Structure 1
C-alpha cells in the first residue's frame, strides 16, 4: 500500500467523512432506523478494500463483534442489524468515487472481490457477537425466570422485592392470577420448544403481560391472568377449563411430544393467591394420578370433594378400613374388586359399560359386584349403600390402598 493511500485511510478528508456519513444514514433508513453507531468502522473497511484491496485485521473484526453484542443488548433484531450492514455495503459500492468506478474490468473485479470478502468476514463476526450476547441474555433471563417462578409459587418471599423483580416480566401482582401445570406422561421433552409454543399462543390470546411460562420439578408451569369476569367475582369460581384446553391443545401439537395432562388451580388475587393456585394445581395432578383420571384437563374446582375428604384423614381411613378391608379376603386380593367398583360408579352403575371399560365380560363384572356385596355387606346397586361404597372407594384411591397400607388412625 502506498504512503498516500495509508494516509487517506488513517486521516479521511472532510469530503470522505461526509460521503461515508451519507452512506451510513441511508443504510440506517433501509434497516428501519437502526443506529448508525452500530456500523463502527465498517464503512472505512469497505472503502479500503475497494480502493486498496486491504483485508480487515483481527482487532478490526473483533470491534465488529462487539458491535453485534451491543445490538443484542439494545434489543435490535438480528435481521435488522444484518440488513444495516448489507445495505451499507450496497450503497457504498453504488456511490464509490468515479476514480474507482472508472478502473478497467480486472481492477473492478478485484475491488468487488475484496469488498465481498470484507462483507463476508464482517457480517459473520457481527452475527457471532450478536448470538453470543443473546445466549448470555437468555441464560440470565432463564435464571431470573426460574427464580421468580420459584418465589411466587412458594409464596413466602419478601412482597416488596417480588413486586420489583416481577416488573421486568410485565407482571402486575395485584391482579387475579391462576396457575396451570402441564405434566407429560414421560420425561419432559424439548423444554425450549414447549415453552416457546406455549408463550406464543398464550401471548396471542391473553397479551404479553402478566404471563410467565417456565419449568419446575419436571412440569411446565403457566402463570396467567384470570379473565375479567373471573377477576370481578368475590370468590374463586370454576375458571380453568379455557386456559387448560388452550395449553393442552398447543402442547399436543408439538412434534414427537408425549400425551400431556394439564391441571389448573383456581384464580385468586395477589402474591399469596398465586401460591394457593399452584398448590391446588399440584394437588389436582396428584389426585388425578391416584384416582386414575385420564382426562386431558383437570380442574381444581372439580376435585373439591376429594380435598374435603382428605382434610379429615382419620375419618376417611376409618371409612376405608371399616367398609373395604374385607375385600382383601377375596381370591386375588382387594384390587380387582376395588377397580370394578370404581369403574361401576364411574359408568353410572351400568354393568355393560363397566365391562367395556375394564375389558372383561359382563359376567365377570356381575360376579365381582356380588362378591363385593357379600364381603362388605354393602350392595353397589342399592342407592343407600352406593354413597357409602363410592366414598370409601374414592378414599381408597386417594390413600393408594391396597397398594400401600392404610395410615395409622392416630
Structure 2
C-alpha cells in the first residue's frame, strides 16, 4: 500500500502563483494520485496491468499536462494532450478497462484539488476560479483519453484479426492447401510473399529453457534482403523464407549466427504451393541433430541420419542387433568402446590418430578394437561392415537405442 507523508504547511501564495505552486509540487501531486488509485481503484494494480513505478511516472506526466492546460500553455514544449494520447495508447495495449482509467483521472483531479487547497487560503477567490477550470480540464482530458483509447483498441483489434488471418493462412499452407488452385496466389498477397519464388522452410525448436531457438529471424533475414514469415506450429517455430533472386547459402549465413537451439532446413521447394513438403523435411532435418546440440542442419548434409529418423523402428533394430552386446556391458565400458569405434571410423581407421584424439596409447585403441570384434562377432573391415556399423553408431548417437538397452 502506498502511503502519503503529511504535507508540510506552506505560506499563502499570491493569487498569480497557484498553478506555479502546483507545478513545484508535481511529485506530491503524483504521490497523492497514486495513493488514491491504490485505495479506491486497486484493480489497476491487482491484475498486474501496470507496475507501481510506471503508474507513479504516468501520474506525474499527466498531472504536468493538466497544469500546462490550466496555465493556458498548450503548445509550449509540445502538445500536453500528446501525453494523454500516449497514455491512452499504452493502456489500450495493456487491455486496462476504460472505466478504471477514467475513474483514475477523476482521482487525479482530486489529488490536484487537495494540493491546491494546501497552496492557498480556502477563501482565496483565485482558488475558486482555478478549481472550476481544473475540473473542466479534467473533463476535457478524460474525453480526449477515451477517444484515443477507443481508437487504439479498434486498431489493435483490427491488427489482431489480421494476424489471426495470417496465422490461418500459414497453417493452411503447411497442411498442403497451397496445392489447391488459386490458394497459393491468395496467400502470397496476404502474406506479402512471392507466389512462385524458390523457398526454404526452416523448423526450429525452443531451447531447453523455453526461449526461442533463433533470435529475431524475420528481422535478421530482412536485413539481408529476404522476405519471410515465421509462425509457431505445434512445438516448432516454422519459417517460410523466399529466396527470390538469392541463394540458400546466403539465407543460411544470415540465420546460423542467430541460432540458439536446434533447427532444420528442408530442400529448396518451388512456390508457396510446395512449402508443406519443405516443412515435413525441415522437421526431419532438425531431428538429425543429437539432443542438446544447437545448430541448423540442412537435409542434404544429413541424409544418412535422415534415413534413420524417417525409419526409427529400423534404426532401433539396427542398434539392438548390431551393438546390443556392447551396450549390455556393465558400467561405462560399452560407451568407451563405441566412442573408440566412432573416432576410429572418423579418422579413416587410423589407430595413431584415434589414440591422439582420445588421449590414450595406441595399444589401448588396438585392444578396444579387438574387444569390439569379439563382441560384434565380425571383423571390422569390408564395406558392408563399415556401412552397418556407421549407421548403427549414428542411430545410437541420435538416441535410437532399441528396447531394453541402456540409454
Structure 1 counterpart of 2:221 = 202
Q: Distance in 1 between matches of 2:319 and 2:294?
A: 26
Paired residues of 1:244 and 1:262 also in contact (CA < 8 A): no
List alignment gaps of at least 5 residues for structure 1. 1-48, 51-63, 73-104, 231-238, 252-258, 406-410
Post-superposition CA distance 1:176-201 (Å, at most 9, x none): 1111122222254379xx78x33222
Residue 200 (structure 2) aligns with: 178
Q: Equivalent residue for 2:170?
A: 149
Question: Residue in 1 aligned with 2:338?
Answer: 338
Q: Does 1:138 align with 2:159?
A: yes
Deviations 1:322-369 (A, max 9, x none): 54333245334855533443354446653246537xxx9988766544
| SS class of match (2:400) | coil
**3-state DSSP of counterpart to 1:137:** helix
Q: What is the TM-score when the length of structure 2 is the normalising length?
A: 0.55
1:388 to 1:400, Cα distance in 2 relative to 1, 3 A: closer
1:155 touches 1:271 (CA, 8 Å); kept in 2? no
Q: 1:220 aligns with which of 222, 228, 237?
A: 237
1:280 and 2:281 are equivalent in the alignment: yes
Query: Could you tell me how far apart the structure 1 residues matched to 2:204 and 2:311 are?
Result: 29
SS of match in other structure, 1:184: coil
Q: Deviation digits for residues 215-263 of structure 1, max 9, x if unmatched?
A: 1122211111125255xxxxxxxx3x44344234335xxxxxxx31221
Partner of 2:41: none
* Equivalent residue number for residue 263 of structure 2: 262
Tell me which residue corresponds to 1:302: 301
TM, length-normalised to structure 1: 0.54
Task: Please state whether the residue corresponding to 2:193 is helix, strand or coil.
Answer: coil
Take 2:293 and 2:356, find their aligned partners in 1: how far apart are those partners? 17
**In structure 2, the residue corresponding to 1:206 is in which secondary structure?**
coil
Instruction: Assess if the C-alpha contact under 8 Å between 2:269 and 2:278 holds in 1.
Output: yes
Q: Deviations over 1:262-284 (max 9, x none)?
A: 21112110244211211111001
Give the 5 Å matches for 1:72-221: 117=138, 120-156=141-177, 158-186=180-208, 188-189=210-211, 197-207=216-226, 209=227, 211-221=228-238
Q: 1:154: how far off? A: 1.8
